[in-house]
Amino acid sequence: MEFSSKLLENAVNEMSQLPGIGKRTALRLVLHMLKQPESRTQLLATALLKMRTEVKFCKSCHNISDVELCEICSNKNRVSHTICVVEDVRDVMAIENTSSFKGIYHVLGGKISPMDGIGPHDLKIESLVQKVKQGDVKEIIFALSSTMEGDTTNFYIYKQIQEYNIVTSTIARGISVGDELEYADEITLGRSIVNRIPFESSLKS
Ligand SMILES: [Zn+2]
């Protein structure tokens, strides 16, 4: 791509670092910004920078939050002894949209994936095991996507907490195989949480 301006080229290069944004799309977005009032770009840049520098992760569930303890963890009406284990904030949003879950979450920050060099210690697994050890947990619900990495992660955590005699369950399978939770429709996802099955029986299938 030949650019008539170094400034334009820099902007396109930075924009195209984002996932799913190729050079052509980046160019289209940048040219769009040039047509808009300068204030639009300023608002965008400020919002991004503010988000990046000020965002926090809940000290208990590791969900993205504006405060130390997120709104879900600090809500007295939530059932704090039921913990739904998810990969990232998108899953929390998807499950919250169903209004079918009254417990709290634990956000791992990914899945175990040796291919991508992600091991158990790269994820927030230890803090989950600690919660179980402290005896504050009655049930763990695994709600990772039904991929090999999701299954591996579920099983790894299951082995760590097995001896503490808590209920472990998994959201019903067959609805989002290979898909991310965020793509499951709300009714199906809500139902699969309500009708969750014992984790042990998911292992036999
Ligand atoms: Zn939290």
Q: How far is the CA of 62 from the centre of ligand 1 (A)?
A: 6
Q: How far is the CA of 89 from the centre of ligand 1 (A)?
A: 11
The pLDDT of residue 65? 94
User: If you count DSSP H runs as helices and E runs as strands, how many of each does the chain have, helices first?
Assistant: 8, 7
The pLDDT of residue 190? 81
The pLDDT of residue 196? 87
- Vertex 70: Cα angle to 65 and 71 (nearest 5): 115
Task: Name the residues around ion ligand 1, CB cutoff 5 A.
Answer: 58, 60-61, 63, 70, 73
Q: How far is the CA of 184 from the centre of ligand 1 (A)?
A: 23
pTM: predicted TM-score of the whole model, two decimal places: 0.83
Classified by CATH at the fold level, domain 75-204 comes out as Dna Topoisomerase Vi A Subunit; Chain: A, domain 2 (3.40.1360)
Domain 6-54 has CATH 1.10.8.420: yes
Which 3 state secondary structure label does DSSP give 64?
A: strand
Side-chain-side CA neighbours of 38 within 13 Å: the count stands at 0
> Domain locations in the chain?
6-54, 75-204
Residues paired with 82 in a beta bridge: 139
**Within this chain, domains 6-54 and 75-204 share the same CATH topology:** no
Q: How far is the CA of 124 from the centre of ligand 1 (A)?
A: 13
Residue 193 φ/ψ, nearest 5 degrees: -80, -45
Q: How far is the CA of 68 from the centre of ligand 1 (A)?
A: 8
Q: How far is the CA of 61 from the centre of ligand 1 (A)?
A: 4
Residues paired with 79 in a beta bridge: 103
pLDDT tens, per residue, the chain with 205 residues? 899 999 999 999 999 999 999 999 999 999 999 999 999 999 999 999 999 999 999 999 999 999 999 999 999 999 999 999 999 999 999 899 889 899 999 999 999 999 999 999 999 999 999 999 999 899 999 998 888 899 999 999 999 999 998 999 998 755 544 456 656 677 778 888 888 888 888 776 5
